[in-house]
Amino acid sequence: MTREIIDLEPAVDEKTTKLRVDAITVQIKRNLHANAELYLALAREFVRIRDKKLHIAGGFTTLPAYVFKNWEVAPSSLARLLAYAATHDELKSVAGDGASVPLLQEHVFALKAISHDPTTQLKVWSTAEDVAAQDGTQVTAAIIKKAAETLAGKQSDPEPPIESSSQSQDPEIDAEAPKETKLESQYQPPEPGSIHTVSESARKKPPEIQHGTEFNPSAWEPKEPEEKAQEVEDGTPEHLIQVIIGTKHWSDIRKALTQLKKNCRSHEEDPSSHYVNMQEIDRLIDQLSSEIKCRMFGCNCPVCKNKLQIKCPRCGGVGWLPVARLGNNTDAEKAWLEKQPKVKASK
């Protein structure tokens, strides 16, 4: 039955597509260990519904509302499935016919966390398969990470776990997730984007959200500071000054997130919060705070040693490492860092 469903020709109308998705979801619910092909087939159906705008034919203006009404798949899970299908199909397209590509969501998102380049992802995947074959085991996210380090020529200690937000860039998908879902998927979101220089206006500390008060988005709009940018302590290398200033800004944002979490909890007993999943809100805020912390300034680059190298294998030429990579430093590098002036923002 599974293979018959997967091999069906794609439907072009809303009614037929709905029947096809019904058949896939029934198979998934019947089997707690449903194979990856079923989840991929389901994800592709949702992609097709979105691209063909079949949800409009079904009487819904947004895709998340249509999907949740018919199959109780929350917007957050829908976003994961859409990203899963897009990444898998991109890898398959680049690899070509007959080439090995990852099928499990765990593998797909583990590769995406390492690189957004499909060619690089496929190289890591091939290496991961070789490593797993040598160990006589199956490919896992840990093996994929090990393969990436092997390709980069590194022998490093494990990095601390990093949690990331699963928010989609689609405004429809970013709607608030319902409290109960039936088709949750395992997901490890991709690596954040590039490093940005902190602007002058963004350095001013954002206003704190007072407990029990309304959250005013306009309060977060950057304003020109009346005073000069915050200074850093003497002895700070020139290439780290802007980084340290920006780190203080992100620390303030993490404090504001903690206050936002308290603010949400203060409305927990309000009748308007009946359908609000407070645990999910707490989880997402904690993930965002953790993600920011892991990407903040950790130490000077012990490979560049204050002489920026454009092709530095450790920092990529930015001259510093985030908190998440502190565990990668060798004993010799740690010894060099101990001799350097302590770098931090002035109070």
What is the rounded distance in angstroms from the CA atom of residue 178 to the CA atom of residue 187? 18
Instruction: Classify burial at 275, counting beta carbons within 10 Å of its beta carbon; exposed 0-12, middle 13-18, buried 19 or more.
Output: exposed
What is the rounded distance in angstroms from the CA atom of residue 103 to the CA atom of residue 256? 39
Please, where are the H alpha helices in the chain? Answer: 2-6, 14-30, 36-52, 54-57, 63-71, 75-95, 105-114, 118-135, 141-151, 241-265, 278-295, 331-338
Percent of the chain's residues with pLDDT above 70: 70
Residuewise pLDDT in 10s, the chain (347 residues)? 444 444 445 556 788 888 888 888 887 776 655 577 888 888 999 998 999 888 888 888 889 989 998 888 888 889 989 999 999 989 989 988 778 899 888 899 999 888 889 899 999 999 999 988 988 888 888 899 888 888 887 544 455 454 444 445 555 555 444 444 444 444 444 444 433 444 444 444 444 444 444 445 444 444 443 433 344 566 778 888 888 888 888 889 999 999 998 998 888 888 888 888 888 888 889 888 888 888 888 888 998 888 888 888 888 888 888 888 887 788 888 898 888 877 665 44
**Span between the terminal Cα atoms of the chain, in Å:** 66
